[in-house]
Structure 1
Amino acid sequence: MGKPIAMRTSLLSRRAVLLSAMILGFAAPQSCPAAGYEVRVVSFDRVTLEDDFWLPRLRTQRQVLVPYAFEHTGEALADLAAAGELLAGDTPAELPPPHRFRTSDLYKVVEGAAYLLAIDRDPALEAQIDRVVEVVAAAQEPDGYHGATRTLYPHLAIDMMGDGRYAYVDHSHELYIVGHLYEAAVAYFHATGKRTLLDVADKNARHVRRVFFEGDAKYNHGKPVLRAPGHEEIELALVRLAEATGDPIHLDTAKKFLDIRGVTYVPDGEGVNSPSYAQQHRPVAEQRKPAGHAVRATYLYAGMADVGAKLGDDRYNAALDAIWEDIVDTRMHLTGGLGAVHGIEGFGPEFELPNADAFDETCAGVGNVLFNWRMFLLHKNAKFLDVAEVALYNNTLAGVNLAGDRFFYVNPLAADGFRPFNHGHAGRAPWFGTACCPTNLARLIPQVPGMMFAQDDEGLLACLYASGRTRVTIHDVATEVIEETAYPYDGAVQLTLRPEKPVRFALRMRVPTWTTDRFVPGELYKYAKSESPRVDVFVNDKPVEVTTANGFVSIEREWSAGDRIRLELPMPVRYSTCREEVEANRGRVAVTRGPLVYCAEAADNEAHTSTYMVPPSAMTAETEVSPAAINGHSTRAITVKAERLTEKGDLEATPLRLVPYYAWNNRGVGSMAVWMPDNAETLRAGALVVDDNAKRFASAKASQTFAGDTEAALIDGLLPSHSFDTSIPRWTSWPARGEAQTLEFELAEPTPLRTVEVYWYDDHGGVQTPARWELEVAEEGAEWRPYPLYNTDAYGVDQDQFNVVHPAEPLTATRLRLRVWPKPDAAAGVLEFVVRPESSR
């Protein structure tokens, strides 16, 4: 690990060239009979980055993020190892507890690591992956089934998994897991030529096809299961597998999974069991609006685009086009974030786009990139690249800190700096129990260079901008392409062409939507001042007149070695407004420059960010754009003329400093805001509303309380700094070691629950985090019943954070009961018990 990144064309082989058939949905190899996309992408391993923005991130990926992710997916590897031992006839020393999906996270890390190998073959990293592959292969059952938990517990009734293999595919994640296995296998095969993992994937895919569409005597009484998975992923992964193996049977299986969704089975329930949660409310070709869980949805849309393109079938296109239009017109945050609603981690009603309460999962940002990249390949229109770029630079990159070892699951557009919003953390987390977001970043970022260049029959397209070089063949002429730019901080982009002999072709360069009257495509956002600065194009330093078509300027001519084309994209500071239907943004503006959304952060300003406003006069005043360093990372800051609400209630003129949204929360926990008030009324209405947990409760009672502690400490509203925080009151059951405890809470009024959160006390001695716990709930006039736990949540016992559980269905509680089972030689302790209502700011 730690080698300098160098993407060398000398490493290319047929397998490496086929790396273009990865997560981003590039063209299929000749051996797989499919029409494919008209656009042929220049694969990421054929692009040598030389820039100051993405190249440092790739180094961080290799040196920090991927090794860190391997370390934190050790439990998943242990699951597989135990399954392999059992299949070999041995008895594992200790059976790991059942887990529905964590092996998928390991497969995503393997996939990301394989991409790094394609960039630069690293023997140590390759040997590490080989060891993982050996364990994975040993965990496959003879008939092809692959799922560690079901191998270890074949008939155990498990919540959200049913009582056997494929018994509850709505939420079991069995097909989701093997989808990520397929993508890891394809990536590793293309990077190294090694087939072991690919053969495991191929065998499993044939097993899945047999069980779900043909019938297998060992499953479902021999009848085909004929159900689509609750969490999409296998659909697009099967396309990758078809490309790698050259066998179209896997592409046909992907199509079958698409075509039975919402046809052979439609769930009947609410919340996570509703028909729309997993996009099963109608056949996919008939869907016209985004619905349900945002990650599942974007994976589905990506799979529809892939399957349709590979089969030359356009019957999914009307659905994809309508869904895309609805997203950009009504349901996408300015940052490219999708899935604003917490309860389902997904799409809510039109224009429901809160700021502090935004969910915008990092994985959904990744999904937005994947979906829009494929839409570009399908339609060859740059507006899709513009959405992908905004989602990539803002929502997605915000998901990991600059050091590469702390993460966001949730990506709000405002934070008060006091309450936890990020699955138990007020800021970035070192990891998550549901670790899909860090591992998704592990596999996406290495592929960004593969979004720079593309080709079609007319010539070359420059898509996303970064300094680097590649070598392509255009009309049978080998041509080196060198790109020079300081993007995303500067809009000058120069390409130098070095064909081996003069050749005529069309060179197209993207002119992003942010250069027009709005930041991003769609009708949600427009600039407060609508004029569009001039975009200039120069060929060999001479200005040329060009027009824009489908978001590209195009110059067709005979190109010779040394010819240069320079695109000048103006990058003034711009102020966006939002449609009035979005209640959260009425009377507010957001600051952008180029493709970057900016935010005000407490670390740069004197007061809480909710006390500032950017009046209309600031939008015409001079702004300062200056180099800045955040934890050693070079970026650009913007300073605007603003006004601040003082403690006396007066307004005073003051500068307001903003940094790129992707870089926030790298300097500790504090307040943050993207959308700033532009008038005093909005400012005064929203300034510093502090969430008061104590007011939500009428009482708290415990079955046992130590004489030096209090029940009142459970709900006093004082937030701990860590689990051994002795500066605030606490509740403990000391000296009752190993005895189950019950904590009962009466709410001040019926409360629609968003989350329930527990912060455990642990003194590393007699009081420790418990062995386990669970909740019960009572609604008005009703008896106690089990708390309906959200399908990817668990009753966590992590230290130094709130352990958060969401309800799986709309739930208005009057009482809550916490049952705690301490470790045998310890008492239990709680520093704070928190309820977040749906109406929380």
Structure 2
Amino acid sequence: MYRFGLLMIGFYMSGLVAMESLRAADYPIVPIAFDEVRLTDEFWLPRLKLQAEVLLPHSMQEAQVGVAHLEAAAKFNRGEDVPGHRPHPFVDSDLYKVMEGAAYLLKLKPEKALEAEMDRIIDIIGEAQLEDGYLYPSHITGATKRHSHDGMGDRPYSFVIYSHELYNMGHMYEAAIAYYQATGKDKFLKLSEKNAEHINKVFFEGDRDYNGGKPVNQAPGHQEIELALVKLYRETGKRLYLDMAKKFLDIRGVTYKPSEAGLNHDEYAQQHLPVRDQREAVGHAVRAVYMYAGMADVSAILGDSSLQTSLQEIWGDIVNTRMHITGGLGAVYGHEGFGPQYELPNYDTYNETCAGIANVMMNYRLFLMTKEAKYLDVAEVSLFNNVLAGMNLKGDRFFYVNPLSTDGERAFNHGHKGRATWFGTACCPSNLARYIPQISGMIYAVDDDDLYLSLYASSETTVDISGVTVGVKQQTAYPFDGKICLTVNPANNGAKFSVRMRIPTWAGNKQFVPGELYHYADVMEKDIEIKINGESMDFNVQNGFAVIEREWSKGDVVALELPMDVRSNETIERVKANRGRVAFTHGPLVMCAEGLDQDFSFDVSRLYFEDMPKIKERQAQVGHLTQGVETIQAHLRGQALTADGQGMEDRKVRLIPYYAWSNRGLSSMAVWMPREKSLASLSSNPLNVDGEYKKLEASYTHATDTVYAIGDGDTPNGSHETSMRRWTSWPQKGQDQWVVLTLKEKKPIRSVGVFWFDDIKNNGGCAAPADWSVEYWANGGWKPLHTYITSGYETKLDQFNYVDAQHAFTTEKIRIQMKAQPERAMGILEAKLKYD
């Protein structure tokens, strides 16, 4: 059984084979590994099959851009010229995550073709790596010296705060470990160790070939390597890697504290304070929560209580002030990060899929550390809602951003209208590719005397408790139904141990998820019930687990029933976005309303629940959503504005799980809905900018068009839309243009979005520009907008093309500069600004 590597293992030292026993200290609870749990359910098992049949092949194909990036370095190392190689800070990390996911599938089921493809890519990685262990294609080929290198520096480790050099390697280590465990092949693992030893020398000892021979002694801008180094330690037994993980945590906010604004601000990368002094979640959400997970690992192994103190305070800050009801983290769009306390917008929020995955990772580790179920409750909510929403039900389209409301037209998804097949910054789909196969490893855990049921799913496994081998079989329709049946088969009758079954926070009458942010607005009258071999029993709850301690016999059956009703939820008053609003949940699932379920072209912003239906009047039933996929659906009575906005009508409202939305086309959607008519509206787009401008100007405007069209707040149906107002430069073909947006007052802006007009398919002469850029007025002159590293100036049709600033800037004027295609004029249907 995989016990976090607590085994006797061999490793090479000074040319001799030596043996070292890993420290016994680690988490007091040991999870049963994913490959030792056989799924038999109708929820996770189909997703695992989807992973193998759709998600992984799709991801491997998309990740070939990362292979090409590494191939360029391999060719350069062979002496070949690679003038066309352009730098990229992290594209190879997406490949490594996909490879990690592939390794997990190989561990579950060997597949020769996939293993051969993995070996091919590993050979390329080996050829791309320098002899001293360094691996970062953008610097190896000299591409950062020939091309723009924002965020990378022009030489190795010269811009650690944002280069992703260490982040990439962390993901490589994790992939290599997974592949070694799956196949026993150690080439990839040795490449990773070679790099880790190189990094240790450069960062903590000094290498004459890097940084002038002085130790870099700086924490990575994007955390991840800390997690990977602990895994490398557990796998190899080499204490060096654990020490490196601890050092990277120890020096953060100590040896280097960036002082600039935006992406180089100290809080952005959690470098404002030493990690043991941090008490609030700040900055980029994924970076932060990866770090918290790494802190938990190091704390568990080394028994560092000071790290635990910091983690407990930060966790409280998150669940009490900064987490959406879906478990989503990082509400601020501009920097993908945590905003001020209680700033939890619905429409204009971020909630990156990767941050949801990181939330699960952190909370699961805190459970292993403390044996408290409240952390599992948070992990479960994030997993079933924010994480699963990141991928469609077919496994081939994704969300990067996860808003809690939309008008169906908003470019909420990194500029994409609706779900995207992939992203230029593909951290989210590649993260899903590696994480979904591991879910079964969260179902069971053990310590010396207890079996923990930490996540409910029909499954089977075998565990060792108190020296006894015990077969375990779980049957349930969770998360659609709260009945869990556990059959226990000890090898010896009379074996004494405890079974601890999690009683989720949502199953009580107080709140859906731990923390102070959300509370139930109704009372459920049903009780939680446990039966042993058909007879009801009293039970004690300790740390969120019902404890069943007895002498067990073969075939003993424990039946737990968690009452599941459609519950109504409210937010504390300090969350302005949800004042006077209600959200519905069913078990661990957040429910939402989609317009297409209510009526054709119905906007869910018209819905409200002034006369709240009682619990017994809310119906929930399992049904097919699309493509034969089963899900829970809720039906309840509500009210809605009439189409003219003047009257009210009773309406039967259908709700579906938040994870299942946006699988049947574009539609409006809402999680939080009004309790009163005054908050309902005919449009769910609160970003309508009509009236915010003092003046709009253009270098040239066609006589029958108007520059004011770009600020009228009307959302186009597509770039070829001809029935609405627009600005065009027709007939000035091939001539560059500009438009200026002057606000009525100065405002802090973080994003600028443009919806291009293009009538080429209608035999017109206007097309999206060849290129464009944004400037803003400051100190009496135009200043170029410095873009966020994952953002760019796109010219895609049928969507808003958003460019995000490195940091918010305050101005009253924006200028959009456009470079025309040859023999084409240009046009804009709408522009939107997002404010800080």
Decide: shared fold, TM above 0.5.
yes
CA contact (8 A) 2:699 2:737 kept: yes
Partner of 1:776: 775
- For residue 236 of structure 1, what is the amino acid of its counterpart? L
1:510 aligns with 2:502: yes
SS of residue paired to 1:810: strand
- For residue 233 of structure 1, what is the amino acid of its counterpart? E
- For residue 515 of structure 1, what is the amino acid of its counterpart? A
Partner of 2:623: 628
Q: 1:367 aligns with which of 345, 358, 361?
A: 358
Distance change >3 Å, CA 14–CA 257, structure 1 → 2? closer
Distance 2:466 2:458 in 1: 24
Distance 1:652 1:422 in 2: 33
- For residue 593 of structure 1, what is the amino acid of its counterpart? H
Cα offsets for 1:565-618 (capped at 9, x unmatched) = 111111121111111111111111111110001011101113321111123541
CA contact (8 A) 2:619 2:634 kept: yes
SS of residue paired to 1:494: strand
Q: 2:573 aligns with which of 564, 568, 580?
A: 580
- For residue 289 of structure 2, what is the amino acid of its counterpart? T
Distance 2:235 2:770 in 1: 45
Cα offsets for 1:327-383 (capped at 9, x unmatched) = 111111111111112222211222111111221111111110000000001101111
Q: 1:671 aligns with which of 655, 668, 671?
A: 668
Cα distance, 1:636 vs structure 2: 1.2
Cα distance, 1:96 vs structure 2: 2.7
SS of residue paired to 2:182: helix
Q: TM-score, normalised by structure 2?
A: 0.92
- For residue 281 of structure 1, what is the amino acid of its counterpart? H
Distance change >3 Å, CA 775–CA 680, structure 1 → 2? closer
Distance change >3 Å, CA 17–CA 673, structure 1 → 2? farther
Cα distance, 1:14 vs structure 2: 10
Partner of 1:838: 835
Distance change >3 Å, CA 354–CA 692, structure 1 → 2? closer
Partner of 1:486: 477
CA contact (8 A) 2:285 2:337 kept: yes
CA contact (8 A) 1:515 1:533 kept: no
Distance 1:797 1:643 in 2: 41
Distance 1:648 1:107 in 2: 52
1:48 aligns with 2:38: yes
* More displaced stretch, 753-762 vs 350-359: 753-762
- For residue 71 of structure 1, what is the amino acid of its counterpart? Q
Partner of 1:64: 54
Partner of 1:639: 635
Distance 1:736 1:82 in 2: 42
- For residue 553 of structure 1, what is the amino acid of its counterpart? A
Partner of 2:12: none
Distance change >3 Å, CA 41–CA 299, structure 1 → 2? same
CA contact (8 A) 1:539 1:564 kept: yes
Matches within 5 A, 1:605-754: 605-606=598-599, 607-620=602-615, 622-632=617-627, 633-646=629-642, 647-683=644-680, 688=684, 691-693=687-689, 695-697=691-693, 719-722=715-718, 741-749=736-744, 750-754=746-750
* More displaced stretch, 492-501 vs 647-656: 647-656
Cα offsets for 1:25-63 (capped at 9, x unmatched) = xxxx98433511111110001111111111111111111
1:812 aligns with 2:810: yes
- For residue 343 of structure 1, what is the amino acid of its counterpart? G
CA contact (8 A) 1:695 1:748 kept: no
Distance change >3 Å, CA 381–CA 753, structure 1 → 2? same
CA contact (8 A) 2:485 2:557 kept: yes
Q: 2:412 aligns with which of 421, 435, 442?
A: 421
Distance change >3 Å, CA 543–CA 803, structure 1 → 2? same
1:440 aligns with 2:436: no
CA contact (8 A) 2:729 2:737 kept: no
SS of residue paired to 1:131: helix
Partner of 2:543: 550
Cα distance, 1:456 vs structure 2: 0.2
Sequence identity of aligned pairs in percent? 47
1:73 aligns with 2:71: no
CA contact (8 A) 1:756 1:805 kept: yes
Partner of 1:358: 349
Cα distance, 1:712 vs structure 2: 6.1
Distance 2:339 2:333 in 1: 9
Partner of 1:199: 190
Distance change >3 Å, CA 188–CA 768, structure 1 → 2? farther
Distance 2:749 2:620 in 1: 43
Distance 1:757 1:603 in 2: 26
Distance 2:179 2:200 in 1: 23
Partner of 2:390: 399
- For residue 512 of structure 1, what is the amino acid of its counterpart? P
Cα offsets for 1:510-563 (capped at 9, x unmatched) = 110101121111111111124563111111111111010001111122222211
Structure 1 residues without counterparts, runs of 5 or longer? 1-11, 19-28
Cα offsets for 1:262-303 (capped at 9, x unmatched) = 001111022222211111111001111111111111000000
Distance 2:827 2:177 in 1: 47
Matches within 5 A, 1:177-188: 177-188=168-179
Distance change >3 Å, CA 59–CA 753, structure 1 → 2? same
Cα offsets for 1:128-180 (capped at 9, x unmatched) = 22222121121101111111111122662621222211111111111111111
SS of residue paired to 1:523: coil
Partner of 1:90: 80
Cα distance, 1:463 vs structure 2: 0.6
Distance change >3 Å, CA 238–CA 59, structure 1 → 2? same
SS of residue paired to 1:203: helix
Distance change >3 Å, CA 372–CA 395, structure 1 → 2? same
Q: TM-score, normalised by structure 1?
A: 0.92
Distance 1:465 1:385 in 2: 11
Cα offsets for 1:229-273 (capped at 9, x unmatched) = 111111111111112222110110010000000001111022222
Distance 1:710 1:62 in 2: 52
Distance 2:179 2:343 in 1: 41
Matches within 5 A, 1:134-213: 134-153=123-142, 156=145, 158-213=149-204
Distance 2:562 2:721 in 1: 52
Partner of 2:116: 127
CA contact (8 A) 1:302 1:371 kept: yes
Cα distance, 1:627 vs structure 2: 2.4
SS of residue paired to 1:84: helix
CA contact (8 A) 1:15 1:189 kept: no
Partner of 1:278: 269
SS of residue paired to 2:776: strand
Cα distance, 1:626 vs structure 2: 2.0
1:328 aligns with 2:325: no
CA contact (8 A) 2:6 2:24 kept: no
1:224 aligns with 2:223: no
Distance change >3 Å, CA 420–CA 519, structure 1 → 2? same
RMSD over equivalenced CA pairs, Å: 2.6
Distance change >3 Å, CA 528–CA 709, structure 1 → 2? closer
Distance 1:31 1:797 in 2: 57
Distance 1:244 1:443 in 2: 18
Q: 1:520 aligns with which of 497, 506, 513?
A: 513
CA contact (8 A) 2:328 2:356 kept: yes
CA contact (8 A) 2:565 2:615 kept: no
Distance 1:292 1:115 in 2: 31
Cα offsets for 1:677-705 (capped at 9, x unmatched) = 22234336x96556445645566656577
Partner of 1:794: 792
